[in-house]
A = this chain, B = another copy of it.
Amino acid sequence: MARTVVAADLGGTHVRAALVEENGRITGRRDIRTPATAESHVILGEIAALLKAVASSAADAPVGACLASPGLISADEGKVIIAPNIAGFRNLVLTVPLASQLGIPVAIENDASAAALGEWRFGAGQGCRHLLHATIGTGIGGGLVIDGRLYRGAKGFAGEIGHTIIDPGGPRCACGSRGCLEAMVSGVAFAARARRLLAKSASPVLKEIVGYREPTSADLFLAAKAGDRACEAEIRHGGHLLGLGLGSLVNVLNPDAVTLSGGMLVMGEMFLAPMREAMFSIAYGPASGTSLRLSALGDDAGLLGAAAVAFERATE
């Protein structure tokens, strides 16, 4: 029988869980709404019930489980230190009580770090020795696989590429610094670019799409696709800056590949072409041997990332 693990993806609205085989095949899916409470025993109870239900669908007992969570995670202590957008996830120790209820080892990992190991094991990063994975969504996250293992750093915070500074005079980031990658290229950043265009009355097309509500990154892209030059220029500039940021990291890490996932990739070549050009314009870039690859894991990236971490733990 194939070995399996229980994987879960903790999100702002849903917790998705499933059984995952060593080849990445997903079975026994179950979802619950993310517990909307700060009571840790309620959260633990609901997640435990979910994981148990998934585990019971396995022919043989799963060899382990892992939760992928947004936010600041201490994998060593098995806890969520803080997860923005999930009120109850604050100094919440999950792994020890869950492991005792499930009777198998339970791990927790930052979702972007898990995604890096998921890409390496099941996705676009297969065959790499060293991998940098970047998720370009509402925010920007990242993870590192070094020598075929998830690299966590001294305190488990490694891979936070969204808060590398690429322009000290750039816009203020939610973290307090100026010009973080996340403040310049993420969904939040593209929405801010759209707001600035509207404030300057620089894009009638965008204005017509948005009306009087708050603009989103999707509006910016829609207007650009409709031929609006100002909106297209913002997307291209974002792609260019992301390329400089990733190219800088290629110079530091010289990975075999950079893999990309996240909602901003729907912008396609309008975003990716200037990104690629900037990334490989940087010193050592052309000689680095680093390839750029798009993720193919889609909505299951979180689950497969968590599964990859659970399998890594099970073979330690």
Interface residues of A (CB under 8 A from B): 72, 129-130, 142, 144, 146-147, 151-161, 163-169, 173, 175-177, 180, 240-241, 244-245, 247-249, 251-256, 281-284, 287-290
Contacts and interface: CB of A to CB of B under 8 A. Distances in A.
Contacts of A284: 72, 157, 160, 163
Nearest to A247: B165
Contacts of A129: 154
A153 B128 CA distance: 11
A166 B163 contact: no
A179 to B, nearest CB: 8
B251 A157 contact: yes
Contact of A289 (B72, B151, B154, B166): B154
Given A160-B283, A163-B284, A283-B177, A241 B168 contact: yes
A283 B180 contact: yes
A175 B289 CA distance: 18
Contacts of A169: 167, 169
A290 B166 CA distance: 21
A165 B254 contact: no
A113 to B, nearest CB: 11
Given A169-B167, A247-B165, A252 B287 contact: no
Contacts of A249: 164, 252
A158 B161 CA distance: 17
Contacts of A255: 153-154
Nearest to A281: B177
A6 B166 CA distance: 42
A283 B251 contact: no
Given A147-B147, A155-B254, 11 more contacts: A152-B254, A153-B253, A153-B255, A155-B288, A156-B254, A158-B253, A160-B283, A164-B248, A168-B244, A177-B282, A180-B283
Contacts of A289: 154-155
Contact of A160 (B244, B251, B281): B251
A290 B158 CA distance: 11
A252 B130 contact: no
Contacts of A153: 130, 253-255, 288
A144 B255 CA distance: 13
Contacts of A248: 163-165
Contact of A252 (B252, B281, B288): B252
The 4 A-B residue pairs with the shortest CB-CB distance, nearest first, are A153-B254, A175-B283, A164-B248, A158-B254
Contacts of A176: 281, 283
Nearest to A178: B244
A264 B243 CA distance: 30
A229 B175 CA distance: 32
Given A163-B248, A168-B167, A157 B254 contact: yes
